[in-house]
Structure formats: structure tokens, C-alpha cells
Structure 1
């Protein structure tokens, strides 16, 4: 396929290189100058060359186009993969909309219900939107022009949204050609709320602040933070998330079961043990600063969303609310002010996404 990856950070660059290795034509679009400028400039100066390390093997690929020009990047493409922080999804969606055509597939990695932004700004769009629970690849930029694959998911749940259902078989065929073992969920909101970052990034990031500051960033969150009492918080927040999912008629799937489904080859193993195995053997270093995107992204885009949905449905979310309050106080930021709420996404848009199962009023 002809693919454009929007976002030239860790995930965007690695996915672009991985898809190029698989034989696709790939453009890489950078949408801001806020991060990874040295890396992006290196790619431009070296004609899109990326070295990708996986299982101690290094492969070199040439990305077809490295650009900041949205119109040029999207020209003649079929699939648009969005790999920018979800804080900026509404802004990026507005910039992409003029260049999207009815045949485009837009894959959000991940989405956090950003399909609602497409409906908000282009209610009758004819293209297809797909939201993923999480990225298929854990990865890092090692040095400019060089990325490392830390872990690849075994399975990758996604959900498809179309204003008018048309040729889903073709859409799935194109998505399956990426070779990421996609599984197809019934509704976008399942992909949105099963985003693992809503649970582990927020609790992990907040509870890691003292260690990050004490060690000056010499820290491995997944290996260190999830002690038995912190795990009680994980289960409490997860229960609130499942209460919201259950209220809208979606499956009540615990975090650890969703994690095992994504990460484990053998689904007969204990779900919590699958998470702990990942944490010990495959998880990345960091975060290295207290105000990491684990908090500045996943609190306003994940926890605020969950709290707002709970409030709209009349479901109490005290653990979620408490975590937001702690994050607000710790970083002196009101994350609700900029966060992803039902009002900001649009109640009617969310009801349309949920469809006949909607109990939102």
C-alpha cells in the first residue's frame, strides 16, 4: 500500500521503517517542531534512511518521503497512520481533513475516542476511521536515524468506524496486509477505554514521581512501581473503567486480560503473570522526568475522559477522580481544563459512535 505515517517520533519512525521493510511505500510526515527535531533533520539529510534494530539485527531502509507538507505527504496514499500525542489529535485532525478522500483509511495509534473529533469537525465524512488500543510496537529512537524495537504485540485489537458501512472486507484486507495481527472489536469505545496507558501510565507515572526525582531519571517504572499496594490502585481504577464499559453494553474485560491478549503467545497463562513478565523482560526504561507524557497526556486524555463518561452515565469514579486531583496538585496544572471531556468530544458524536447500545442521555 501507499502509506503516510503522521508523526516522526519513536512510534511513527519505527512503524514507518517496519512497514517499509514489509514492502510498502511509506511517507513520514512531521507536524510540529516540538520534539525530535535533530532526528527528523538527520532523516532529511540522509534521504530518509532509517536503521531499525530488532532482535539484535540491524536493517537499513529508505523512507520514500520525509516532509512537513501535509498535502504532499497525503497525495496518492491509501492509509494514514496517526502517531502523534493524543493531546494534539483535534488540532491534527483539523489539519488533515482537507486532504482526506472517501477512500482513505485513517488509523489512530491509539485513539482515546478521537473518532468523535472527526464527527465534530466533518460530520458526514466518507472515509474510514480505525482506532487501536495501543501501538503494535514498543520502541525507542536510540540516536538520530536509528530506532530499536523493544517488543511487538502478538495481537492488536482495533475498531472500525464508518458513517455509512461500506466494503468492510476491503478495509480489513488492507489493514491485515500490515501484518500486525489485528483483531476487530465491536465498537470504537472498547478500543478507546482498553488503551493500557489509561491505567498503567497514569498510576505508574503518578506513583513514580519520588523515585524519578530521587534517582534523577535512572528509573524503570514497569519494573519498580507496581508493588502490591499500588496494584490495588490498578484494580480499583480498572474496575471503574469496566463499570463504564458495562454500562454502554461493551465487554467487561480486565486490564490484565486485555494486556495478556495483546502480549502473550500462550493465552492459558495467568494474566497478571503475563503483565509482570512483560514488565520485567521487555518494558522500556523511564520515564525520566516527573512531568512525563505518562501524566501530561494520559491524565487529560485518558482519566479525564473516563471521569467525564462516568459522570454522564451516573457512575462513580473515585479512584480516577483522586488520581486526576493528585496529578493536578503535583504539576500545578488543571488537567480537566484542557482534557478530553464528553462536552469537548460532543455528546451526540459519542452516542453516534456507540450506536444502538447508547445509554447516554
Structure 2
């Protein structure tokens, strides 16, 4: 099994390191020309990068992939599995770049998805299987262009597969790559709705905007933002989200219960206790408002949610309000070019049956 990790950010390098630790052949493809460029050149010179894995007793090791490149053809033809770890805002760009080199039988994994498989299908006319994750298997960050620090892992990492009939095959492969990735969702829409970033990123920034700007880099979002009143907003969002889950044959699951399921080994612990423990171990940030927490998760996550809600006729007033106020914060219209179900299905008029057909 050969895997190309597409994306040289925190997520890409962390997951590549864990794959290498698991003795899997890995290549790394950088698709951007600006983000993390300094570290990219260092990695190329050193033919790898240093890792400190705090999820494994602080183990330090040197991750040495087969290649670290910007050569798209080399990277795509090398792999059986392509793991897309860029931001979801880059899905269209990445799909167009890799499409000429994708071959039948490859698996394309989107981490996370937001139903981005449907974007890749627009450009890739091959017999390809897609898998979407609601979040990452491991978390951490690049530290001062010196090493990659892995700080947290999800004991349970759920994935979905398109087409659904390939679920067993893909789940078997993914669980060999990452032992915590042995759980599944019904379809890519359920994975999108359980993406935690869609809820906590916009809400955390929106209700802490003045604190973020005033603190000048000393804001700890998960520790500071989610007071009792802000948690009430998350719960109000959950009511609307769970209505949508039920419309598509999925079990309702509140945000904090979903977070506990992902983050905690012991499911007997209270969900809020788990969330507070996660908050205490989380990193600082964001340090500015014009951040991907709004620029990515509002148009791609909330935009998708709102568009589907309108199709099936459920109340989407909470995410709509968050999108409106986030747009006002940034002084730009985040609904413009948002990821909508109409855009993904390339139809002006979408019905619930259209959505059910494509996700199955």
C-alpha cells in the first residue's frame, strides 16, 4: 500500500508521520506556493523532518518519506491512496491539478470532507472511491519550522465512503493505516454534519471577536470562548443539525456528545467534562479575525448546511445568523461562492431525492 499525502500543513505532515511510523510507503505533495514554504525547503534538503509525538510518550523520530515534492504527476502516479489534507477551500484547485494523473482503482481520502468528493468527481472521470472524514485522526502543529509536534489523537475516528458499497474495503484499509480509524458514518452528508469545525470555529470566533483583536495573539479559544451563554448557541445549532440528520436517516447526536465519542476513551465520563479537558490541552488561537475559522468553515460548512436545510424545509436560522454576522465582521459576503448543494450537484433546483441519490 502506497499513500501520497497532499498538503504540507500541520495535518498533512502529522498524518504522514504516523503512516511512516506504521511502516507504510508515503510520499508528500505540496500544492501551494506560499504556506509553509520555508519548512518545505528544509524538509527537501534534509529528506524528511523531525517529529515529537506526545501521544506516544513524547517519542522523537525522523520521518523520512519516499519523496517531498511539488511534482504532481510523480506524486499521484506513485500512490494507491491519495490523502487530501489541504483546507476544504482548496478542494477545487487540488482536484483540477491531480485530475490528469488519477487512475482507476485509486482511493481519494478527504480530511475533512464537507462533501468535497462531489467536487473531485466533477474533474476526475475515473473509477475512483472516495472517503470523507469529519475531522483528523491526530492533531498538532509545525513548531517554528523545526519539527512537527503531535499533541492529541481521537480514540475514535469515523469515516464515510462514496459509493457506500465500498465501505467495508476502505474501512479495512484505513484502520490498518490508523488503528483509531475503524468507525463509520452512513454517508458523506453525515460526516459533513459531524465536522466539529462547522460549529465551534465560527461560533468561537464570532463571540470572541473583540477579545481576539485586543489580545494580540494571547487568545485561547477553547479555554475562553465557550462560556455557558455561548454553549447555549451551540445547543440551539444542535437542534437544527439533528433535524437534518434525522431527515437523512441518521441518529441525532449533539455536538458535545459527538466530541466525547471522538475524544475520550471512557464514554462514561460527562461530555462537558471531556470538552473542558480537551480545552485545557488545546493550543492558542486564532490571533486575528480574518482566519480560516471564518473564511473556510462559514462558506464551506455553514453554506452547505444552510443550502441543504432550505431544500428539505427545516429551520436554519442559527447558522444563517452566524453567516450574516461573520460576513459583517469581515466586511465581505461569505455566502458569495459558498459551497451549496446546488453547486455540488450542478443543478439549479435540487430536491431531497437528488441528495439521497448522490450520497448513496
TM-score range, shorter chain: over 0.9
More deviation, 135-144/56-65 = 56-65
Q: Deviation string for 1:215-253 (max 9, x for gaps)?
A: 101111000000010011111112211111212222211
Q: Give the number of equivalent residue pairs.
A: 354
Q: How far apart in 2 are the matches of 1:181 and 1:25?
A: 19
Partner of 1:174: 173
| Deviation for aligned residue 1:352 | 6.0
| Deviation for aligned residue 1:119 | 3.2
Q: How far apart in 2 are the matches of 1:315 and 1:283?
A: 34
Mapping 1:29-68, distance limit 5 Å: 29-54=29-54, 55-68=57-70
| Deviation for aligned residue 1:337 | 0.6
Q: Deviation string for 1:304-357 (max 9, x for gaps)?
A: 111111111111211111110111011011111121112211167995663399
Q: Is the 8 A contact 2:137 2:178 kept in 1?
A: no
Partner of 1:341: 340
Partner of 1:127: 128
Q: How far apart in 1 are the matches of 2:91 and 2:353?
A: 20
- Given the two structures, how large is their TM-score scaled by the length of structure 1? 0.93
Q: Is the 8 A contact 1:158 1:191 kept in 2?
A: yes
Partner of 2:87: 85
**Which blocks of at least 5 consecutive residues in structure 2 are unaligned?**
none
**Which blocks of at least 5 consecutive residues in structure 1 are unaligned?**
none
| Deviation for aligned residue 1:37 | 0.8
Mapping 1:67-146, distance limit 5 Å: 67-122=69-124, 125-146=126-147
Q: Is the 8 A contact 1:11 1:135 kept in 2?
A: yes
Q: How far apart in 1 are the matches of 2:313 and 2:28?
A: 43
Q: Is the 8 A contact 1:249 1:357 kept in 2?
A: no
More deviation, 91-100/331-340 = 91-100
Partner of 1:7: 7
Q: How far apart in 2 are the matches of 1:49 and 1:131?
A: 27
Q: Is the 8 A contact 2:199 2:234 kept in 1?
A: yes
Residue 20 of structure 2 aligns to a residue in which SS? helix
Q: How far apart in 2 are the matches of 1:356 and 1:44?
A: 41
Residue 121 of structure 2 aligns to a residue in which SS? helix
Q: Is the 8 A contact 1:150 1:284 kept in 2?
A: no
Q: How far apart in 1 are the matches of 2:168 and 2:303?
A: 35
